[in-house]
Amino acid sequence: SYSKYTYKHIALMRWIMVALIGIVTGTIAFLINVGIHYLRKLKYQEFFRVYDLTRDSGTVFLALLVIAGFNVFYSIFAGILVAIEPIAAGSGIPEIKCYLNGIRMPRVARIRTLIAKACGVLFSVAGGFLVGKEGPMIHSGAIVGAGIPQLRSFIWNKLRLPYPYFRDDKDKRDFVSCGAAAGVAAAFGAPIGGVLFSLEEGSSFWDQGLTWRSLFCAMCSTITLNLWLSGTPLVPRAKFGELDQPGLIDFGRFSNGGTDGNLWTFPYLFLFILIGAGGGLLGAWFNSLNTRLTIYRMKHVFRKNVIYKVLEVILIAMVTTVSFFILATLLGTCVPVITRTEQQFANSTRNFFCPTGVTFSTIRFNNYFNDLATLMFNSEEDSIKQLFHQDGAFTLPTLGLAFICYYFIACWTYGAGVPSGLFVPCLTIGALYGRFIITAMQTAGIPTTIDPGTFALIGAAAFLGGVVRMTVSLTVILIESTDEIEYGLPLLITLMVAKWVGDLFNEGLYDIHIEVKEIPLLGWDSPEKVDRLTATDVMNPDLKYIYPISRVGSIERLLKVTAHNAFFVVTPLSVSAEDTTSSIGVSKQSPLLYERRSIHPVHRTRLIEQRRKKEALKRKEYKEATINDDGESRGATPFSSGAEEGVQDNAFVFHGLILRSQLVELIRNRIFFDENLGVETQPPISHLKLNKDYPRFKGIYDIKLEEGERQMLMDVSLYMNPCPYTISHHAPLRRVFNLFRTMGLRHLPVIEDSGIAVGMITRHDLTHEHLHKALHAKSHHGSNDND
């Protein structure tokens, strides 16, 4: 339907769109970043002003009131935004995973969600929640990817520009891939990691064109972000146009403690493996706690009035703030600042009731800093950097206390009604864990020759791996954002050990949330145990079908009674092509598509034989479709009426697949004909026009048909997909699984050897739950057979 010219045109538009997606995503990331910076700056400025005024007068609780007030105020904003658009809660990565996996996720990629998410994350991060901005940023990128190429209804239509591009699911999914890659690139300064992320979560198979585009998109996003950042005070000493900034996460350069020690040496690998295993255990427990909490929350909080959701958010903000303040005040230790690191981290140490140092220019040089306050009254990124690079010792109780606080509060926070990334809190908790171990070793007098920061990094990787069960792409992101190729091997090994240990207990947190929401995500491999299953065992044998030429009224009824998204186009086995057409009164000379694949009269004898051989064949019985037995096809058959009845029950020759949206659009556009006038009088409709309303097609209830119209006939054979991927009924499940993942399918018709449709497999049939049910049914049935 496209001319050669249009092909090139489309390719060009694709590149332009991709560049736009990258630029907009980078800009949004920049805005989020700047917004958080100023909101947080405002909060801490006021807090420390009041703190300075009151620290000696004993009325320091006023400072607590200030910071608590700010945090509650911010949290109300975040909570309300999410209450308005509930899908903006959480990190968004599970949703993006599902979307790219090929699942229809309503509202995930709307402008409204973008606004709620991007503004919400400003307030949730600035409000002192233990959440990261990276997940929401990836989600924002994905929404930008979904939105920009579809701007039609907002812009082009009003400007009356012709813009007939990208009106199908595959294109949209590709753009969302690019957007997600751009989001990752902006969030972590890791464009290659971004491409891998979208490849891993999204692509069925390696698509070179898509890979180029997403790399380009990720690069545009990184460069845009860096360009904007270079012009702001967020990056010290940079002039606008100097582009050499990292992404939003910057782990800083690892030194080796100024001594001749190494970053790591081989014997330490064993210790790293132990840390990885510990991270896996801690992560698994985190996931288990969070799972129970999430289920409880879904039952008891989210079902009730939306106000409870906001109240919970405020409660979390209060608890976080108050506990941090009290702990830091009462239990923080004053630690002397070591000169070497003073310069680099002067801005982010907090002296909080410790002996003050000098203030030079605007930088406060502390002779002592409160280690707990330094961890708790900072952005999480600064806390991580402190743990990675601060040579001044954190004391063991401080690290332990901070770890426990962070662990449980972060666990409580993830899943509440605020936009909340998981990456940064996990890194913080893990860095505390790693730093705790090295400090414990030092306290116990075990000599170590390597940098304490290395342990913090390894601990961070271990815990992150234990919670999200790092995929390849996340590993690459971590390696890329560390920017030290030297850490590649230990990071990789730690992450893998953590993943393996964690997998003994439960799944990654993203996957758990997907499962809790009962979304049929397809994993990477078919589960091992189900090797014995075949397509027949998992398919839904309840065929929903129409004939190539059907009455409009019966199609309408079918659409109203069922919720299926795809329907078989079939002809009954016992009726030959000519018979079918005559039985519904169409003139014989009509050019029916399915004559090309005409049903062979030899099939007619099939049913008679079939009955005779029923035991030998042991074929599954198929439920009768509920809709189409309204007599339309009860034409004369050349065989006995007994055979005919069998036909109605059993056997339909498969011709193609047609989507619900196509049927609705065909009816809405009145693409049907009067049976007295013949099929030639059916008006044609172009592919473009049929997809005009993508992705918001009308429902069947939006269409009003007159009784006369219901009596008309529709020839769907021109619009169906005449050769979708199909699978043989005795194909092993692994094959089914591969086809689904690889080709990104939603519906897979199961066809018998001789072209008889016997069932349909959808994603829901491939969920763990369903597969185990099928397996159980089979082994039960099998043992019966053997009796």
Residues in 733-752 that interact with a copy of itself by CB under 8 A? 735, 738, 741-743
Region binding a copy of itself by CB under 8 A among candidate stretches 44-52, 398-406, 475-483, 579-587: 475-483
Name every residue whose Cβ is closer than 8 Å to that of residue 511 and which is 6 or more positions away in sequence: 94, 469, 521
33 in Cβ contact with 136 (< 8 Å): no
* C-alpha closest to that of 98 among 767, 760, 564, 759: 767
- Cβ closer to a copy of itself: 200 or 542? 200
Q: Contact with a copy of itself (CB under 8 A): which of 14, 385, 606, 660? A: 606
Region binding a copy of itself by CB under 8 A among candidate stretches 317-325, 353-361, 730-738, 761-769: 730-738
For the bound state, the minimum distance from the C-beta of residue 489 to a copy of itself, rounded and expressed in Å, comes to 5
Q: Contact with a copy of itself (CB under 8 A): which of 106, 616, 676, 696? A: 616
Name every residue whose Cβ is closer than 8 Å to that of residue 18 and which is 6 or more positions away in sequence: 175, 178, 213, 214, 216, 217, 220
Region binding a copy of itself by CB under 8 A among candidate stretches 97-105, 202-210, 404-412, 682-690: 202-210
Omega cis (within 30) before 520: no
Q: Is 472 in the site for a copy of itself (CB under 8 A)?
A: yes
For the bound state, the minimum distance from the C-beta of residue 607 to a copy of itself, rounded and expressed in Å, comes to 9
For the bound state, the minimum distance from the C-beta of residue 149 to a copy of itself, rounded and expressed in Å, comes to 20
Name every residue whose Cβ is closer than 8 Å to that of residue 655 and which is 6 or more positions away in sequence: 548, 569, 570, 571, 593, 594, 597, 717, 720, 722
- Cβ closer to a copy of itself: 710 or 734? 734
214 in Cβ contact with 60 (< 8 Å): no
For the bound state, the minimum distance from the C-beta of residue 135 to a copy of itself, rounded and expressed in Å, comes to 21
| 473 vs 608: CA distance, rounded Å | 57
- Cβ closer to a copy of itself: 356 or 738? 738
Region binding a copy of itself by CB under 8 A among candidate stretches 379-387, 539-547, 620-628, 731-739: 731-739
Q: Is 270 in the site for a copy of itself (CB under 8 A)?
A: no
Q: Is 479 in the site for a copy of itself (CB under 8 A)?
A: yes
Spell 466-488 as b/e; 16+ CB within 10 A means b: bbbbbbebbbbbbbbbbeeeebe
Q: Is 356 in the site for a copy of itself (CB under 8 A)?
A: no
Q: Is 619 in the site for a copy of itself (CB under 8 A)?
A: no
| 538 vs 352: CA distance, rounded Å | 63
- Cβ closer to a copy of itself: 192 or 327? 192
Name every residue whose Cβ is closer than 8 Å to that of residue 78 and which is 6 or more positions away in sequence: 120, 121, 122, 123, 124, 127, 129, 313, 418, 419
Identify the H or E element spanning 473: helix 472-482
Phi, psi of 281 (to 5 degrees): -65, -50
Region binding a copy of itself by CB under 8 A among candidate stretches 119-127, 137-145, 262-270, 555-563: 262-270
For the bound state, the minimum distance from the C-beta of residue 758 to a copy of itself, rounded and expressed in Å, comes to 14
Q: Contact with a copy of itself (CB under 8 A): which of 5, 162, 237, 244? A: 244
Q: Is 7 in the site for a copy of itself (CB under 8 A)?
A: yes
Q: Is 603 in the site for a copy of itself (CB under 8 A)?
A: yes
Region binding a copy of itself by CB under 8 A among candidate stretches 130-138, 184-192, 345-353, 551-559: 184-192
**Counting Cβ atoms within 10 Å, is residue 209 exposed (0-12), middle (13-18) or buried (19+)?**
exposed
Binding mask 521-550 for a copy of itself (x = CB under 8 A): ---xx--x----------------------
CA atoms 38, 43, 48, 53: torsion sign: positive
Binding mask 558-597 for a copy of itself (x = CB under 8 A): -------------------------------------xxx
Amino acid code (one letter) for 159? L
Name every residue whose Cβ is closer than 8 Å to that of residue 253 and which is 6 or more positions away in sequence: 483, 484
Q: Is 129 in the site for a copy of itself (CB under 8 A)?
A: no
For the bound state, the minimum distance from the C-beta of residue 362 to a copy of itself, rounded and expressed in Å, comes to 24
User: What residues between 358 and 417 interact with a copy of itself by CB under 8 A?
Assistant: none
* C-alpha closest to that of 550 among 565, 571, 564: 571
Q: Is 38 in the site for a copy of itself (CB under 8 A)?
A: no
User: What residues between 652 and 691 interact with a copy of itself by CB under 8 A?
Assistant: none
For the bound state, the minimum distance from the C-beta of residue 517 to a copy of itself, rounded and expressed in Å, comes to 23
Q: Is 496 in the site for a copy of itself (CB under 8 A)?
A: yes
- Cβ closer to a copy of itself: 146 or 220? 220
Spell 394-403 as b/e; 16+ CB within 10 A means b: bbeebbebbb
User: What residues between 753 and 772 interact with a copy of itself by CB under 8 A?
Assistant: 753-755
Mode of pairing for the β-strands spanning 549-551 and 727-728:
unpaired
Phi, psi of 585 (to 5 degrees): 80, 20
Phi, psi of 696 (to 5 degrees): -105, 75
Q: Contact with a copy of itself (CB under 8 A): which of 25, 91, 124, 203? A: 203
Region binding a copy of itself by CB under 8 A among candidate stretches 36-44, 109-117, 257-265, 542-550: 257-265
Q: Contact with a copy of itself (CB under 8 A): which of 13, 732, 767, 773? A: 732
User: What residues between 214 and 243 interact with a copy of itself by CB under 8 A?
Assistant: 215-216, 219-220, 222-223, 226, 241-243
For the bound state, the minimum distance from the C-beta of residue 580 to a copy of itself, rounded and expressed in Å, comes to 16
Q: Contact with a copy of itself (CB under 8 A): which of 97, 297, 604, 763? A: 604
Helix (H), strand (E), coil (C) string for 358-412: CEECCEECCCEEEHHHHHHCCCHHHHHHHHHHCCCCCCHHHHHHHHHHHHHHHHH
Alpha helices in 671-730 (DSSP H): 687-690, 707-710
* C-alpha closest to that of 328 among 88, 51, 565: 51
Identify the H or E element spanning 597: none
Name every residue whose Cβ is closer than 8 Å to that of residue 569 and which is 6 or more positions away in sequence: 545, 546, 547, 548, 594, 654, 655, 656, 657, 658, 716, 717, 720
- Cβ closer to a copy of itself: 448 or 711? 448
- Cβ closer to a copy of itself: 407 or 594? 594
In the three-class reduction of DSSP (H, G, I as helix; E, B as strand; rest coil), residue 596 is classed as coil
Q: Contact with a copy of itself (CB under 8 A): which of 110, 156, 171, 211? A: 211
Q: Contact with a copy of itself (CB under 8 A): which of 45, 209, 587, 620? A: 209
Number of residues in contact with a copy of itself under rule CB under 8 A = 78
Region binding a copy of itself by CB under 8 A among candidate stretches 107-115, 186-194, 271-279, 308-316: 186-194
| 779 vs 787: CA distance, rounded Å | 13
Q: Is 602 in the site for a copy of itself (CB under 8 A)?
A: yes
| Residue 522, CA distances (Å) to 391, 528, 710, 713, 737 in order | 46, 14, 40, 39, 8
- Cβ closer to a copy of itself: 126 or 739? 739
For the bound state, the minimum distance from the C-beta of residue 367 to a copy of itself, rounded and expressed in Å, comes to 34
Tokens of 568: 């078989």
Q: Is 695 in the site for a copy of itself (CB under 8 A)?
A: no
- Cβ closer to a copy of itself: 138 or 196? 196
User: What residues between 134 and 163 interact with a copy of itself by CB under 8 A?
Assistant: none
Alpha-carbon Rg for the chain, nearest whole angstrom, is 31
For the bound state, the minimum distance from the C-beta of residue 243 to a copy of itself, rounded and expressed in Å, comes to 5
Region binding a copy of itself by CB under 8 A among candidate stretches 41-49, 205-213, 583-591, 707-715: 205-213
Region binding a copy of itself by CB under 8 A among candidate stretches 173-181, 193-201, 459-467, 704-712: 193-201
